Amino acid sequence: MIDLETIYKAHERIRDTVVKTPFAYAPRLSEESGMEIYLKKENLQVTGAFKIRGAYNKIATLSAQERSCGVIAASAGNHAQGVAMAAQMFGIKALIVMPESTPLTKINGVRYYGAEVILAGSNYDEAYGYASKYGNEHGMVFVHPFADEAVMAGQGTIAIEMIEAMNDLDAIVIPVGGGGLISGMASAIKALSPKTEVIGVSAVGAPAMKESFEAKKAIDTTSVRTIADGIAVRDTSEITLKHILESVDRIVSVDDEEIANAILFLLERQKLVVEGAGAVGVAAVLHDKLNDLKGKKVAIVLSGGNADVTLLSIIIEKGLIKSGRKMKLTVTLVDKPGALMQLTEMLQGLNANIVHIAYDRTSTTLAYGDANVMIHLETKGEDHQSQIRALLKEHRYLSSEEH
């Protein structure tokens, strides 16, 4: 494990730079899960994620000569912003290599801190390969997002803050991608509170670390695909795996649907904007991956809040449909004056609010003289939607529903 003194030294270095983020009871989540849940809100950290902790600690431990060469990093976003901000604070050059699919909000976040951005590769590992080669060729110091002791020690400072605030936690649930966060945190947790269970949560679409943990050897995967881009790591680091095998008790996984549900739950019930990687712990709790913890005192790390707005809007839209608050219908009617008005007046009578409507009379599947009307409705739940379906059937409308 990483030496506890090393983590405490990192804590002293970053104390005046990072935010001591809120660590608070979550009543709605506790009620939903049957556990006593506390959330460590690193989504409210400066730069919007925990990564500034490790990045700043790493750069702070470099010599003046090393800093003068500048730093380079590869990242899907949060580590990039952490390195960029830390480099700006030390007044040194930073170059960040990001995957080509990185959301614009994260690219702009990096540029805001004055760093240069290069887009290369389809995922983190390809961006890493480019950055590693570029750094060697140009004599820049590579700041690894997870496989570096100074970085891991910086991330471990989260655990110090949590345990200083609450030393009787039964379990701490932590996102797992490359393993830097959980390696640093688990080292501190097992040194300060050995009885506290350390549980990692990975994405089903990025299974390398979970499979490696279970096999007790490094296993790489051929591809990754998940909305949790912050933990979408294809290959397993031998360095972080060693720490994880020493100090992590178990790793569970959640799929994209479960992650999306957790993002929406946090947004609506906890009033927190959390990105996919940051929401995996809540997803594990909400979707019964940790049922043995019912009645226990459990802390969950919300590792970041830099959610892509485009993805967030899709998650909200799908969530409204799944929860019965939005309904998308295609209704076939006779294409004659007054037909559409008759349909809308009927829906009005049931207090269904039309938010979008489109008319199609040219589809090859339609009989001549018919038209399809695509309607999006705001509804008041499944019972309300059942009333709408029954009314359409009663008036002999042909209708289909989009799910």
User: How many helices (H) and strands (E) would you count in the chain?
Assistant: 16, 14
Which H or E run includes 310? helix 309-322
Rounded Cα gap, residues 312 and 319, in angstroms: 10
Q: Six-digit token pair at 259?
A: 């992650």
Residue indicated by tokens 């940051």: 278
User: How many beta carbons lie within 10 A of that of residue 318, not counting itself?
Assistant: 16
**Class of residue 324 by CB neighbours under 10 A (exposed 0-12, middle 13-18, buried 19+):** middle
120 phi and psi, to 5 degrees?
Answer: -155, 135
Instruction: Specify the DSSP element, H or E, that contains 137.
Output: helix 124-138
Q: How far apart are CA 165 and CA 320, in angstroms?
A: 37
User: Backbone phi, then psi, for 255, in 5-degree steps?
Assistant: -95, 175
Told to judge if 303 belongs to the known catalytic residues of this protein, a careful annotator would answer yes
In the DSSP assignment, the letter for residue 257 is H
Q: Which of 33, 187, 193, 303 is catalytic?
A: 303
User: DSSP letter at 230?
Assistant: G
Tokens of 330: 């295609």
CA distances, 127 to each of 41, 77, 96, 230 (Å): 28, 12, 9, 14
Distances in Å between the Cα of 199 and the Cα atoms of 25, 41, 184, 296 are 19, 17, 13, 14
CB atoms within 10 A of CB 173: 25
| CB-CB contact of 281 with 182 (8 Å) | no
Tell me the three state secondary structure of residue 20. Answer: coil
Distance, CA of 231 to CA of 229 (rounded, Å): 5
CA distance 11 to 22: 16
Q: Could you say which of 33, 40, 41, 51 is catalytic?
A: 51
Radius of gyration of the chain (CA): 25
Q: Does the annotation mark 51 as catalytic?
A: yes
Q: Residue 167 burial (CB < 10 Å; 0-12/13-18/19+)?
A: exposed
What is the set of active-site residues?
51, 303
